[in-house]
Structure 1
Amino acid sequence: MQRGRLLYGDTDQDTQDKRGGRALKVLISDDEYYARKAMAKKVFQADPDAEIMGDFENGVQVLEYLEDHPGEIDVILTDVKMPEMDGLHLAQYLFEQESPIEVIIVSGYNEFEYAKKAISFGVSNYLVKPVQKEELKEALDKIIRKRKKYEDRMLSITAKKTQQYLSIEEIAAHEEWRSIFLEPVFRKKEGNPFYLLVIQSRKKEKWTENPEEERLLLKLKEEFSGEWFYFERFQENVLLLFGERREILKSLKHFLNRMGILGFSEVTVGMSLAHTQVGHCAKAYQEAVYAINQRLVDGWGRIFEFSTDFKPENMLSKKKESLLEEAIAEKRCAQAEEITRDILKSCQNTYTLYVTISSIFNLLYHFFCRNGGGERAEGSENHGYMLFSFRTDLYRYSTLSEVEDYVLNIVRTMCEEQETKRYHYIVSELLAYVAQNYQSNISIGELAEHKYFMNSSYLSRLFKSETGQTFSSYLMEFRMRKAKELLESELLKISDVAALSGYNDVSRFIQYFKKMYGMTPEEYRGKR
């Protein structure tokens, strides 16, 4: 492609001008041939990067071109006096259609009424012939500045919307997203220590929809020259704050007090250790999650700091393990539940809670395999991995009693006879699990064996009877709905959308998307 030329055909949409955006695409309209050519020359003198996409004798021809090339043109330079449709009527039509195209009127008449009408139709500028190079340059530069400001604002809005579907871990691991969301703030504070905060409220509404709460978060962000993110999947606010620990804690206490006055008395904060590099964000986030999970034991409405000085204990002693296994084997449900409840209530911190629950689940898995429910290597002391984690399980519960109910339900299913097992709660658990883990590799077989300790065929039938769909169909449709939302963001490539929807194979993702919506992801994005 050449710049500073007349270009009446296809152009490279990715051409970037020296100001950081693509070059201005211009149409010229004048009923005099030589006047059009002279204006084109002046445009190139004023802006060597500009592209003249066509020149026309009247406004009707301009509108025909615009109809055939929607969204292509940035600027129209038009004379006032033309046959069929003059410049003012062209400007009026575009104004009434709410077109984003900028119009510059070029006229031989230095009359107030013409200029007044032009202004009422939203024209960018009114230039009197003969047009001077400096005048035209100033008019085009004004349009470029306006467009750049608009594009920056739209990029900011798009970026804010996009990041809701991500996580701080994904942003930190992805070079392009890291450059958009994290590196700008780290460049300003290079080498300075930062703390990562996770903030949650037991009220489930989005804080981004509450102006006062949003104002308080923005104030924290600005006070410590940091950044604020809201992540939809876990309904969490994440703050990166640069500063002294003592000052940050002081401001956080004031923040919690203000939130309490606003009726948010159960806002809770998890705070990481100090870090200095953008590459440490994922680790800092993990620390903040570990810290905030302590709310399960100590309650909401507090600030929890991560500490390396902890010694998790396994409260499932050998004696209690034998008693629990015996109660399950003999189907003494009430006793098994009582033993489990006592074990969990003895946990003083969430590290101990996590280790203890994992041990209970290992016991259940061992029992499940021994009774023909799953496969385990002969003689192996490892009872298999558990689909239970600090991040996606403990973190999604609000209270210790909710965690107890979850574990007790699993214990209960192990005690009861197959035909009397009350599995309906598991379908709700599965739906919640999918909502938070759809980006991961999920299968009904793994969930049955490593999370619920039950026959996978039975779990499949149960899921279908409760939802009317197979698990695989439900998962695919859920992922496709998320993909549609993600496609709204131009910041994400199709491969990014596929990965964020749970598909490492892009071609497979495209195939499923087309099957569900009748078009490819690219086609869907183009039709928005």
Structure 2
Amino acid sequence: MFKMLIVEDERWEREGLLDFLDWGGIGIEIVGTAVDGIDGLEKSLSLLPDIIVTDIQMPGMNGLQMAQKVREWLPDVRIIVLTGYDDFSYAREAIQFGADNYVLKPVEEEEMRKVMDKVVRDCELKRRKKQEEEALQQELLSRERVAAEKKISDLLKGRRRDATPSSLMDEHGLSIHGLAYSVMIVVTPSGDVESRIRQALNGLCVVVGCDEIDQASVVIVPIQAEHPFPAELAERLVQAAGELSCIGVGEAVPEIDQIHESYKQAVNTVRFGMFRDRRGFVTYTEVEQVKQDFSLHSHEFFKKWQELSRQLRIQVAANDAAKLDELLEELFHEISLHPGAGKDYIAAHLNILIGEISLMEENGTEGTFSGEMHLGQDLLMLNRLQDMQNYVRHFIIGLWARLDEKRNRKDDYIVNKVIRLIERSYGSSSFSLTMAASEVFLSPNHLSVILKKAIGKSLHEYLLEYRMKKAEELLRTTRNKVSWVAEQVGIPNTSYFGTLFKQAYGMTPGEYQEFMLRK
């Protein structure tokens, strides 16, 4: 829809124009009316119409004077003047200064529609051209931005050694000779802070996305070489990034082509901060210091770790869940007291602990160490110490629960394992009581007694019931042959399968399949 303003001093003509045509039907919305040229000028500047229909002869400021002033502010507005035969010379003058058309009074509907249809087409053409120009401009800006970010990425990765302060200033508006350069990595929960950072630092920075860390931005800031990062600037950056942000700061470098060194330091520093759940600034110097301190006392940490690991294994075996939880809290508290212990170091030790405790789960049951090796390796994918703690606690408590089930509810454990075994192996015609008994290290007779007591059925009865249930599902949902279904449920003898199915469902497999397909 295009916005239109009507300027007419005669009330009855002004109101008549409001309903003169089906304006909405031709793509026009009347956004206002004005009673003279002065009122029309004010409303034009406030309503910003696409089209103005104005009378010529009006008191105070006539239509031509108003239109000329409107053109100064709104050069693209379409202007249609209304004029009588006696004022036709005004119409010629209006066309000369740029009115788009004129309509003679008294206004005829057909003539008005013809003029307005042409004006709407012109507006549509103008709008479409403007949109195409804007889209082209956006595409060019996008290409320039991508190219600029690629250059910055190459610079940060050490792949571009030809950068100078002046070239960086030309490409990104960054800064002045005689300064050092510092790289920061800003990680926030939202990840969308680049415009706020630019505003907070008054544009004296380059901000691009970080392709090594999720929801992170890289900020390059010129600073005085002799001074640390300005505290006032740091405060503004924290406010822009948010209280929950973590900002890793690399050391300043004197030359722009060395900035990859500061970038690498910032990446390692912010990863340290994320792992330790730090907020605000974390400097490379600080991280190196805590790592050095830890190297001097790592033997004390390892000794404490070994003792806590030993106690954890004892409590898993001793069936004391409360004490186990308490020891896990103590273990991670000990980790928190040694910030210099890096993520890879902690993950490796936790992986060993998981492996040692996993070996306590006997007999190759689900969740044994062989089946959980990849889970231990998943620790390296976690970026926060709290996530590692949750992961390890969930794993160890889960393993303890399975061991507890084996110790205190051994029969239930055996029955559940046999049922899961049936659910996996029912399709094998060779599956038998003897095979199931060997899986749980019992004699067939002993297993039969346990199953009969627990579920009121023998293994053969339960297996047959489960096979018929699966056969019914296949007959109901597929069009495969009965012989195929029989083989899938472990009864390759089709005749025998048909007899068993009819006993269970009161009709042959073929009859049942046909009946279900007709429904």
Shared topology, TM-score over 0.5? no
Structure showing the higher helix proportion among its residues? 2
Of structures 1 and 2, the one with the larger relative CO (CA 8 A, separation 6+) is 1
TM-score, length basis structure 2: 0.39
**Radius of gyration: which is bigger?**
2
